[in-house]
Structure 1
């Protein structure tokens, strides 16, 4: 199985990413944060407008996570299994991983490990010392996965995001590992 990271570069890509984000978020998040906050966060942080704003104003980069299944051959179209994105933070010498989201059917298949390896390589290429992310304190699935991949809690934050909602997160960091 070959995993690819296809950059989000065009207006069409942004629309596809926003549609994928909505599907993944509506499947996963209502059980943890409720439907109201899920819809609010999709609009504020996962919509096409939010993606374009983050790319233009905050130098965010986004990638579709795609897989070419074994036996598909070179002519087989890769299948999108999720998306990821974030941005360099020169002031901290780290990469902020804002988003790692996988479709329900593709969780637990090793894609998160491939994404972490992708960020390790990206950080090495850019001379960054670590990557970090925020994780909802009640998202046990993600917390277990990130801990298993070498992320450690370095802070606990509650962030007001408007609409009467807050994000109650751990900040988790992972030093960049050297090549094996």
Structure 2
């Protein structure tokens, strides 16, 4: 059974940090330098960063549980009256079990309930499998962008969006 559990406690922030450390190197090291992945983990997906995002940046996080085990996480942000799908990561051994689809459906329903017109996200242009999943789930590429970071790295990303409709 797939369950989304809203993250509210420090121990849950730590669970996400642990999942991120396992998942992000596997996903990103083939397409960006490993030291940039380390930077990304420390800056955006550490226990402290997650707590700050929830407290100060209008983020909401959910642990994605499969049969009672935390196997991934979803991070959404309400920003300027729109929903940003900031993070959706699942352990490799649990991909293909409709966990990501369930998380995307949840984000869609959340956005519709809050009366947002669309969901936006940023995805690395080299992350072809993820791009294909988003396209399959109704997202469209709307812009090609370069994101630069204070650690000196830059990445080529796509901005994608999905218009909110009554049906998923």
TM-score by length of 1: 0.88
Residue 53 of structure 1 aligns with which residue? Answer: 52
Match of 1:83 in 2: 73
* 1:101 matched to 2:89: yes
In the TM superposition, what is the alpha-carbon distance from 1:27 to its structure 2 partner?
2.2
1:31-68 CA-partner distances (Å, limit 9, x unpaired):
11121111111111111121112112211110001122
Counterparts of residues 1-180 of structure 1 (less than 5 Å): 2-68=1-67, 78-89=68-79, 91=80, 93-179=81-167
Identify unmatched segments of 5+ residues in structure 2: none
Structure 1: runs of 5 or more not aligned:
69-77
Query: TM-score scaled to structure 2, two decimals?
Result: 0.94
The 3-state SS of whatever aligns with 1:26 is helix
CA distance in 2, matches of 1:124, 1:3: 21
How far apart are residue 15 of structure 1 and its match? 1.1
* Cα distance in 2 for residues equivalent to 1:15 and 1:151: 30
How far apart are residue 109 of structure 1 and its match? 2.1
**Could you say what secondary structure the match of 2:166 adopts?**
coil
Following superposition, the deviation at residue 26 of structure 1 comes to 2.0
- Rg (Cα) greater in structure: 1
| Separation in structure 1 between the aligned mates of residue 164 and residue 131 of structure 2, nearest angstrom | 19
Question: Following superposition, which runs of at least 4 residues in structure 1 exceed 6 angstroms of deviation?
Answer: none
Partner Cα distance (1:56, 1:150) in 2: 31
1:75 alignment counterpart: none
Aligned residues: 168
Alpha-carbon offset, residue 179 of structure 1: 3.6
